[in-house]
Amino acid sequence: MPGRFSTVARPATACEATHTVFEDDLETYLAEHWPAWTERRKELAKQGDGYVADCKHAPTYAEAARTAGGEPKLLYSLLENVMALVSY
């Protein structure tokens, strides 16, 4: 029905020992909490070399994550938790 709001609650972004949840999606989180990643993704697209900024493109995302400045603390926590689970 038009004009109706969803009653489904969204979880807050959180990183726990056994799981990580993003309130919306990873791209929204990165844009909000790691702006250097978004800027780097755009820079890569301007350079060409097959990188794309206006759609999901795994090589662009990976290179932006590898070369962007800043510290995405939640992502570090996520990786630390995964490493702890693997060595458990």
Q: What is the mean pLDDT of residues 2-22?
A: 83
Written as one letter, the residue type at 58 is A
**Half-sphere exposure of 18 toward its Cβ, with a 13 Å CA cutoff?**
1
**Counts for the chain of helices (H) and strands (E), in that order:** 4, 2
pLDDT above 80 (res 5): no
pLDDT above 70 (res 87): yes
Q: What is the mean pLDDT of residues 45-67?
A: 90
